[in-house]
């Protein structure tokens, strides 16, 4: 059995893979492949409608929040968010707590003033800066809920008087949150809710239409809302896989059920990590990510040997991001607890062998 700890694109539920593969040859007994159905036919409209309905149900969204499935990933939203929300001469507040937050800040500066109200750069983003003051005139506060590279995660929603904008790409629907507290949420689907190629957006429609600049049609959230994610040809297959994955989350007990499983995985891994002196977690314990656990070895000369052992045991994707090194194990929604059990046993066996 293969144990998939890849950081993204990531593991998918087996039943989703099975259903998606069957749809490639015959979608819903239509005789057509999901890859060749018309996007404005009832066949696909039913898929999109169900996907949107499932997001609203799982997130318990209120009537002010709209749901979109758009092309691209989070990197597109680094630009599209300030294009729609940050007017010329206005200020947006950003928290810099990792690579992706830094990229979002860079793009936002093309459209208005950016006030970086907090940063963890001083300690290589190994903690989350929770004490900050936001400008009274800022139009929103942007933060990244989970940091895939550095292995940190906000355990609670930041308290602020400003509308909240969140990049939830790597922990979307992995735990219960008050999603309605956010003015805008964006998330590439390829970690917890599907495959690469589609971006989930949840937008409080009251935030839109307040900038004076002209927004190109394809980048205007309002027009996408008016057209129900069908302004142009949508990524049909990616939305279909997201719909199947959302169905699976609901079947697993919804977000509460998924959160319970994710807590079990994280608790097992981190308790093992802390018990083995050969390994070390560089992230502040209170800020550890339940999605992406990063760890290193005190003796770096053993890293290649451990990676080889992991490969022999069919543990895939645990090499750390190239910018930080070490190791990273991703515990996304679809990863079974049994895979984490195998990983921690391999870590124990290795520690006993070399220690």
List, by residue number, the catalytic residues.
100, 167, 191
Helices 337-354 and 303-312: angle between axes, nearest 10 degrees: 130
Left (φ > 0), alpha (ψ -120 to 50) or beta: where does 70 sit?
Answer: beta
Structure tokens at 117: 């109200």
Left (φ > 0), alpha (ψ -120 to 50) or beta: where does 204 sit?
Answer: beta
Residue 165 CA to residue 214 CA, distance in Å, equals 22
Whole-Å CA distances, 242 to 91, 192, 200, 280, 336: 34, 9, 9, 35, 19
């Amino acid at each position: 059995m293969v144990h998939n700890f890849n950081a993204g694109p990531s593991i998918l539920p087996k039943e989703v893979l099975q259903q998606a593969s069957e749809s490639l040859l015959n979608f819903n007994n239509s005789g057509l492949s999901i890859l060749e159905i018309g996007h404005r036919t009832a066949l696909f409209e039913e898929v999109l409608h169900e996907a949107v309905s499932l997001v609203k149900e799982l997130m318990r969204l209120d009537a002010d929040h709209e749901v979109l499935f758009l092309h691209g990933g989070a990197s597109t939203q680094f630009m599209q968010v300030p294009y729609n929300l940050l007017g010329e001469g206005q200020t947006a507040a950003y928290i810099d707590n990792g690579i992706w937050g830094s990229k979002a800040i860079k793009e936002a500066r093309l459209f208005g003033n950016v006030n970086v109200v907090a940063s963890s750069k001083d300690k290589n983003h190994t903690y989350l800066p929770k004490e900050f003051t936001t400008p009274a005139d800022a139009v929103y506060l942007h933060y990244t809920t989970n940091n895939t590279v550095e292995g940190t995660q906000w355990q609670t929603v930041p308290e602020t008087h400003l509308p909240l904008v969140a990049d939830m790409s790597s922990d979307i629907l992995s735990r219960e949150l008050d999603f309605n507290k956010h003015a805008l949420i964006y998330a590439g689907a390829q970690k917890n809710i599907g495959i690469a190629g589609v971006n989930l957006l949840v937008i409080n429609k009251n935030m839109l239409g307040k900038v004076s600049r002209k927004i190109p049609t394809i980048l205007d959230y309002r027009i996408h809302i008016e057209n129900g994610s069908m302004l142009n040809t949508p990524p049909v297959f990616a939305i279909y896989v997201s719909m199947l994955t959302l169905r699976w989350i609901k079947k697993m007990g919804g977000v509460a059920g998924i959160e319970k499983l994710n807590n079990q995985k994280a608790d097992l891994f981190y308790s093992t990590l802390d018990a083995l002196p050969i390994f070390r977690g560089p992230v502040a314990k209170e800020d550890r990510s339940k999605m992406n656990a990063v760890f290193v070895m005190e003796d770096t000369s053993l890293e290649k040997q451990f990676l080889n052992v992991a490969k022999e045991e069919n543990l895939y994707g645990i090499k750390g991001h190239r910018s930080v090194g070490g190791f990273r194990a991703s515990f996304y929604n679809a990863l079974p607890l049994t895979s984490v059990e195998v990983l921690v046993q391999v870590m124990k066996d290795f520690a006993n062998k070399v220690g």
